[in-house]
Every structure is written in C-alpha cells, then in structure tokens.
Amino acid sequence: MLIKGRPSATLKQMQKWAESKKATPLFIELAEVFYNLSIDVGVNPVIVYAQSAKETGYGRFGGVLNASYHNPCGLKTSTGGGDKDINAHMKFNNWIDGINAQIDHLALYAGLNGYPKADTTDPRHFPYLFGTAPTVEDLGGKWAGSLTYGTDIVKIMKDIEDTIVEEVVEIVEFIDIENHWAEEEIEFIVEKGELKGYNDNTFRPEQPLTRAEYCVLRARQLGFVKKKIIPKPDVIPYSIDHIPKSDKRPELAMDAISLTIHSTANPKSTAKNERAWLTNSSNTRVASYHIVVDDKEVIECLPLNEVAWHAGDGFYGKGNRKSISVEICESGDREKTLQNAAIIAAKILREQNISILNMKRHFDWSGKNCPRIFSANNWKEWYKFIERVKQAY
C-alpha cells in the first residue's frame, strides 16, 4: 500500500469507522482535519488516520502522552529518548501543527516531491529518511521497532475502507455550470449518480459529445420536474478603495494560492471603519488586509495580486505571501454579514481558481484565535461557514 496517493476511503467512512471503535469525540472530529491536510500534500489520509488511531488508542491515549500534547502519532523531539520518557515527546501548539508533522514525516519516508521540506512542524525531518519507506508496510522496523508495525496499520486501513456508509452520493458543486442552460438537469443527473464531473470540481458541460444534452434527456426520462426558481442573493456592493504604498502595502507581487478568513475582534467596527483604520495616522502597525466585509458592503483595501500582512507567519510565510485575506466584521447583523462573507469568499475562490480546501483560518498560519467568531466548540462554526461558502459557490 503506497503512502502517496488519493484517499482510499471517504471522510464519512473514516468518521463512521471511528465511531464504531468508540473513538473519542475529538478524534472523530479531527477526521476532517486529517483528511484535508493529507490531501493537500498528496498522502492517502486513511493511512494517517489509521496510524493515529493505532498510536493514540483512538484518541483515548492512556500511554505516556495525553491530548494536550496535540501529538497524533507519538512523534519524539529532535533529540528523542525513551518511549516512556514524556520529555522525549513533542508537544505541539495545536492539532493542525501536530497532524501536519505526522503527514510531513510520512511524506518524507515516502519520498514525495518537495521533500524534505524547509518549512515543517515535523521535529524529526531528517533528510536521510527520504524515500526509505514508499509503502506503509515498509514502515515496520523503521517508524517503529516492530516489524509488523506497517502491516498492522494496513489491517486498520482495510477496516476503514470496508466501512459501509449508507449515504454514499457525494454532492459535488461544480464551478462551471452556474447559469448554464442545463445547470439543474446536470445537478439532477449527478445527484442520481448517472454522471460524474472531474476532480477539479468542473463538469465541462460543453465538452464534445455534449454531456449536458445527455443530462437533459436522461433527466426527462427519469421524471425530472423543474424546481421553483430560487432568487439569487442580492448583489453586495463592492467598492475598491486601495490604500497608498506604505509599510502596510509594500507593493510586493503575489500570486495567491489560498484564501485566509479573519474576524476583526472588534464588535463595533464596520467595513468602512476597518478601511479608514488602515490610513489612520495613529495606526502605526504594519498589519493589513485585502478585503473587509460587513452586513452592508465589501471593500477591497489592497489589490488581490499584492501582499498584505495579515497571517502572522513571518515575512516569508505562505500566509502572508500567498494568501488573500478577508476580514469579517463583528458589527451589525451577524447573519447577514456571514452570508455576505460566504458570497465574497466563494467569488474569490472561483475567480482566483483556489480550491475550497485552501480556504484557511488565520489560526492555521499562526495559531492565533482568529476568526474568533468561529472558534467556539472546537471550531464548529468554522465548518458550518465552509458549508455556507460551498453553497454560495
């Protein structure tokens, strides 16, 4: 079983399997994080989750570590030490750092392109490990002393892959069928499982052999009835009011590969206030942001192809250098604000050709509790917001 590769099971299978093993609620919730972070790198997430289940006893721990170490796989510090020595083990700041370390460590063993990485949370990212274990089975006697370590993980993986989830039809939202004449029929056909789109969330309705025509025909055959037309949400006023060149706007070119969501941490400040703050003479900080959104409007404060200092991950950080930032205002009608934020986030993802998997929180770059409006209950509201953005796509 190669470590590198596409998921060999779905997220739902991973979650349902974890439930069946009486995993802790946290371990079940983290399945989504394991899944998304692994896909980002190109490692099969089922391996990572299975390994973590083995190492943590389905999140129950009970060995030398506990959950506060945010250590999903018993990774040791760069100096290492005995298995029973708590100080020999890494304590990560948060689960994202811990899980990324595990994934990077696996990717290093597997010899993935781009490894060893200069920028990793993996404390034992030793270049000599590169490519020494392309398969899970190879990990035996390497990642751990036991020669059956890898085959044990493969058995757990098989268990996950064999988990039956009733609802297997995944609703895919295509990025290229909005307002297409066959949009509803395509969705209908796809929901019926008759046709699938492509991995990049396109349907390519105009491709030769016109699939769209086929969908309309099949939809009719299957008794398709046109749904009521649901009015599109109002167009939000979008104004461009760029700040002049300054510390906050260094005019560094940027080709964004991700979108970062923030909230302002100020319950009174509107989008206009946030924009004005950037050019207020008493604001001597260099921090800046591209877009602010409230319940009434959107203001673009910096061009989306230039760097803003918003991510707290350093001068060369990927958050600062490769990510468009959206500040969600905490003032006004929250529901309307979130709806506007979802619409504008979806618009950016679409126009900049950024995957929804690359919509990040400020938290993901620096560990800061931001966007704080989503952080309660282990970021429950964040996952709801992701769904909202998918809806608005």
Q: Which is nearer to Zn ion, 105 or 361 (CB)?
A: 361
Nearest distance from residue 310's CB to Zn ion, in Å?
6
Q: Does 370 bind Zn ion (CB under 5 A)?
A: yes
Stretch binding Zn ion (CB under 5 A), from 11-19, 337-345, 354-362, 384-392? 354-362
Residue 21 token pair:
């093993």
Q: Which is nearer to Zn ion, 16 or 262 (CB)?
A: 262
Q: Which is nearer to Zn ion, 309 or 393 (CB)?
A: 309
Give the count of residues interacting with Zn ion (CB under 5 A): 3
Q: Does 290 bind Zn ion (CB under 5 A)?
A: no
Nearest distance from residue 362's CB to Zn ion, in Å?
3
Q: Which is nearer to Zn ion, 42 or 314 (CB)?
A: 314
**Which residues between 163 and 222 bind Zn ion (CB under 5 A)?**
none
Nearest distance from residue 311's CB to Zn ion, in Å?
8
Q: How many CB atoms lie within 10 A of CB 102?
A: 27
Q: Which is nearer to Zn ion, 324 or 370 (CB)?
A: 370
Residue with tokens 């995957």: 355
Nearest distance from residue 370's CB to Zn ion, in Å?
3
Nearest distance from residue 266's CB to Zn ion, in Å?
11
Stretch binding Zn ion (CB under 5 A), from 43-51, 335-343, 359-367, 376-384? 359-367
Q: What are 226-232's contacts with CB under 8 Å, separation 24+?
A: 226/184, 227/184
Nearest distance from residue 323's CB to Zn ion, in Å?
11
Q: Does 362 bind Zn ion (CB under 5 A)?
A: yes
DSSP class per residue in 259-285: EEEEE-S-TT--HHHHHHHHT-TT---
Q: Which is nearer to Zn ion, 89 or 362 (CB)?
A: 362
Contact residues for 262 (Cβ-Cβ < 8 A; gap 6+): 289, 310, 325, 326, 327, 328, 362, 370, 371
Under 8 Å between Cβ of 114 and 162: no
Contact pick of 89, 262, 275, 361 for Zn ion (by CB under 5 A): 262
Nearest distance from residue 91's CB to Zn ion, in Å?
24
Stretch binding Zn ion (CB under 5 A), from 56-64, 126-134, 178-186, 364-372? 364-372
Residues paired with 83 in a beta bridge:
none
Nearest distance from residue 304's CB to Zn ion, in Å?
17
Q: How many CB atoms lie within 10 A of CB 168?
A: 10
CA nearest neighbour of 112 among 138, 96, 143, 133: 133
| CA–CA dist 175, 83 (Å, integer) | 49
CA neighbours closer than 13 Å in the CB half-sphere of residue 355: 10
| CA–CA dist 329, 334 (Å, integer) | 9
Where do contacts with Zn ion occur on this chain (CB under 5 A)?
262, 362, 370
